[in-house]
Amino acid sequence: MDKDGSKIIFSGIQPSGTITLGNYIGAVRNWPLTAKMGRGIFSVADLHALTVRNKPSELRARTLSTFAILLASGVDPENSIVFVQSHVPAHAELAWVLNCYTMFGELGRMTQFKDKSKQHSENVNAGLFTYPALMAADILLYDTDLVPVGVDQKQHVELARDIALRFNGVYGDVFTIPEGYIPSFGAKICSLTRPDKKMSKSDPNPKSYISIVEDADTIIKKFKSAVTDSDGRIAFSPEKAGISNLLTIYSTMTGCTVEEAVSEFEGSGYGDFKLAVGKAVAEGLRPLREKYEDLMNNKDYLVSVMEQGAARAAKIADRTLARVYKKIGLFKG
């Protein structure tokens, strides 16, 4: 909790590729909203991206692009702290300490480790296994109260809580115990080609996901080809995964309820419905896309905001790290 009693909100996103519509609805668009609940601290988690092989030039470009997307999505660097993770060394330092308070079995049960090990079977490295400890460090460095995440990250927030409770049980009240903040609706957006799977930026089929900075024509074209079913009814149910996914997307992008959306398109064909969803998404993302393009044409401004954000984040993180080092007995002279 902040000095004035307001809640501290922390979240981060990897610069590991395209930020999808699923990332946006499930997490990123909630960041400006949750920041109004207290003090927002948001990070481009570039150290996490190292668990897979990257071309250095591409990682640098994606880091800048992701940072610009955060600002374009409404995160205000005047009222929130926005920074790049590797620019604050305390993240990596605390991660090593927390590795020593994280159980091997806990890491082995992480769903994302299992999934990514299958996806990158040729590179199942130690960082992929232990990166939840780095994520815990990201959260715990800032006395975080709330962590806005998509449903797929809930398990990592729970582990961060377990690590904090274990550490506090030994050394006293060192860490604030964080809570995950998951939106009640739209927390999981599914693939347009495989609606039983989460929309993923790592999907090899570009038709399966929407990049939030794609042009309107491309977005609409992808929705036109979205997989549905042969039933012909627009209804929300587990048996109609494709249509239910599109209804979720339409309602979150327009602000209507699913029930209102179903009523609106009663009697419509799937073609008309998919076109309407595509147009709603394209128009809903248009302000973000335009702001993003402006920011990417002003690299000096982006770098300046990065530097200021890192300095502000480091002041908080370094105090937490010093407190931890003192508690565990590291000698400082």
Q: Is 332 a catalytic residue?
A: no
Catalytic residue among 116, 222, 240, 274: 116
Q: Which amino acid is at 207?
A: K
Contacts for 333 with CB less than 8 Å, ≥ 6 apart: none
Annotated catalytic residue: which of 201, 224, 279, 327?
A: 201
Q: For residues 126 and 215, give the distance between their C-alpha atoms in angstroms, rounded to a whole number.
A: 38
CB-CB contact of 245 with 209 (8 Å):
no
Does residue 3 have an active-site annotation? Answer: no
Is 222 annotated in the active site?
no
Q: How far apart are CA 140 and CA 47, in angstroms?
A: 16
- Classify the C-alpha dihedral 225-272-210-259 as positive or negative: negative
Question: What's the rounded Cα separation, in Å, for the pair 189 and 166?
Answer: 34
Q: Rounded distance, CA 138 to CA 148, Å?
A: 13
Angle at 20 between CA 7 and CA 91, to 5 degrees: 45
Catalytic residue ranges = 116, 198, 201
